[in-house]
Amino acid sequence: MADSSFDVVSKVDKMEADNALNQASKEIETRYDFKGVGASIEWSGDKILMKASAEERVKAVLEVFEAKLIKRGISLRSLDAGEPFPSGKEFRIEANLKQGIDQDSAKKITKAIRDDGPKSVHAQIQGDEVRVSSKSRDDLQATMAMLKGGDYGVSLQFVNFR
């Protein structure tokens, strides 16, 4: 019997993120506590740019955006938001959506699979994803459950289950 496998990836659906940003923008435009503070959220290339006239208001914009991401099923581990910084008369926060698993997180994942996973399971790093293979599909499902319960600093999805 051939080996079964799956890939561990960390990806964000760009359309869902765009929908969350548009919903947050609409809420910011209509909410009373954002009137007159110049609050806005928009794409700036691949980054998300949040602006407001006061530091606590720009943090509130970030909270609204985070709430919309959660509603859309996007993990907050995928959002890499910086600290508020002054820019002229306004405060700004720049945020990125993390795509792919970085080398340190991939090493943590493969080490966890080696140490705590079933003995027949093998993991190898392939670029920004981790390929997990085994002869037993039950062992692969146990490995998925173990990875879902762990904290590796990135949101994990499982694809290409064969």
Q: What's residue 56's pLDDT?
A: 93
Average of per-residue pLDDT across 29-57: 92
- The CATH architecture that domain 4-10+101-159 belongs to is 2-Layer Sandwich (3.30)
Task: Indicate where the chain has its CATH 3.30.70.860 domain(s).
Answer: 4-10+101-159
Residue 154 pLDDT level (bands cut at 50, 70, 90) = confident
CA angle 150, 153, 159 (to 5 degrees): 70
pTM over 0.85: no
Indicate the pLDDT class of residue 2, thresholds 50, 70 and 90.
Answer: low
Per-residue pLDDT reduced to its tens digit, 112-147? 989 888 888 989 999 888 999 999 888 889 899 888
Give dist(CA 130, CA 156) in Å, integer. 10
Give the 3-state DSSP-derived string for 93-122, with helices as H, strands as E and coil as C.
Answer: EEEEECCCCCHHHHHHHHHHHHHHCCCCCE
Residues of the chain with CATH 3.30.70.990: 14-97
Give the pLDDT confidence of 79-118 residue by residue, as tens digits: 999 999 998 899 999 999 988 888 888 999 999 989 888 8
- According to CATH, the topology of domain 14-97 is Alpha-Beta Plaits (3.30.70)
